[in-house]
Amino acid sequence: MAAPLTRTAQVADVLKAGGQIMLTGNGRLLRLVDQAGADVPAWQKAISSAASKHKPATLKVAEVLEWIDTARDDIMRGDLLDAMDSLEMARTRIKALRDSRFAGTADNGGRG
C-alpha cells in the first residue's frame, strides 16, 4: 500500500488528474479517489484543504446527495414531513451550487 498523501498539493494533483473527493458512508470523513475510482490514501487535513482550494463544489454535491438519502430514509419510515424538509434542504444546496456557478461565470467575464 502506498504511503498516504500528506500535502494539499499532492491531493490537488490527484484532483487535477480527474480524481474526486467523496464523503464516507457516515458523512464524517472524506475520501479521495483517483480518476478510475480507486481509493487514494490521504490525510483528512490534506483532503479538506485541497477541497476548499480546488474543488469546493465536490463537498456541496456530496451534501446534496446526503440530504436526498435522508429523505429516502424518511419516506421508508413513513415520515413524509421530514422527507419534505430533507428535500427542501437538498433543493437549497442545489440552488446555492447553481448560483455559485453563475457567479463564477460572471466573475471571469462570461468566459466559462
pLDDT at 77: 95
CB 40 within 8 A of CB 32: yes
pLDDT at 100: 64
Q: Quick: pLDDT tens for 76-93.
A: 999 999 999 999 998 988
pLDDT at 105: 42
pTM given for the model: 0.51
Question: Using CA atoms, how far apart are residues 78 and 11, in angstroms rounded to an integer?
Answer: 41
Instruction: Label residue 29 left, alpha or beta by phi (over 0 means left) and psi (-120 to 50 means alpha).
Output: beta
**Residues of the chain whose pLDDT is less than 50?**
104-112
